[in-house]
Copies of this chain bind each other. A is one copy, B any other.
Amino acid sequence: METSRLATFADGVFAIAATLLVIDVSVRAEGDRLGHAIVHAWPQYAAYAVSFITIGIMWINHHNCMRQIGKTDQRFMVINLFLLMCIAFVPFPTRLVADHFHDGGLRAAALTYGITMVATAICFNLFWFYPTRNRRLVAEDADVRVIKGISRAFAPGVPIYAAATLLALWSPKGAVIFFGAIAAFYVLESSVFTRSEPQPI
């Protein structure tokens, strides 16, 4: 199950989307001024880190979802495709936010980032609730408590990203900090607050 082609293709898109983020990290300066320019470009590194971690956490979630799913059908593959289309788009708004952190374009950039994340969260909900509803595609040995736990964890995704997106209208920098905080929360939530049992690789 773990090595299915659905997972291979998805892993590829997650890995490439995350790794492509580095292409947009770029600093251009003449010789001696390079040091200053590298420090000044910190929004680029922050944007890289937030988007890499966000995509990575989504990959871990995708992974956890797939553990509970034992079958597939055409609709599920198409839903997965739309989810991946959103995730592979993330480098574009990331670049916008990084390039316009210090100028008047940040509102538009943050809105674009937020809309992308809301669309991604909606697709992630479809990706989870379509196969688990009526246990349509659920693996026979899936644990009903784990499924309920994932469903609970997914519930706040869309409203949180929608709130951060709306915040961009009022305070673009606030929205960007909110996006970073969401990523930080997911990291802490899955690694510090939760004490997960070791499970087979």
Contacts and interface: CB of A to CB of B under 8 A. Distances in A.
Interface of A: 1-9, 11-23, 25-27, 29-35, 38, 48-49, 52-53, 56-57, 59-60, 63, 66, 69-75, 77-79, 81-82, 84-85, 88-89, 91-92, 95-96, 100, 103-105, 107-109, 111-112, 136-137, 187, 190-192, 194, 196-201
Contact of A31 (B29, B88, B103): B103
Contact of A38 (B59, B112, B199): B112
A89 B191 contact: no
A38 B73 CA distance: 36
Contacts of A8: 3, 7-8, 11
Contacts of A35: 105, 107-108, 111
Contacts of A79: 191
Please provide the 7 A-B residue pairs with the shortest distance between their CB atoms, ordered closest to farther: A12-B15, A34-B105, A31-B104, A35-B108, A31-B103, A71-B198, A56-B81
B18 A199 contact: no
A interface SS class: helix
Contact of A105 (B11, B32, B88): B32
A102 to B, nearest CB: 9
A197 B73 contact: yes
A52 B85 contact: yes
Given A11-B12, A18-B88, A23-B23, 11 more contacts: A2-B5, A5-B66, A9-B14, A18-B84, A19-B20, A19-B88, A29-B105, A31-B105, A32-B105, A35-B107, A70-B200
Contacts of A108: 34-35, 38
A52 B78 CA distance: 12
Nearest to A79: B191
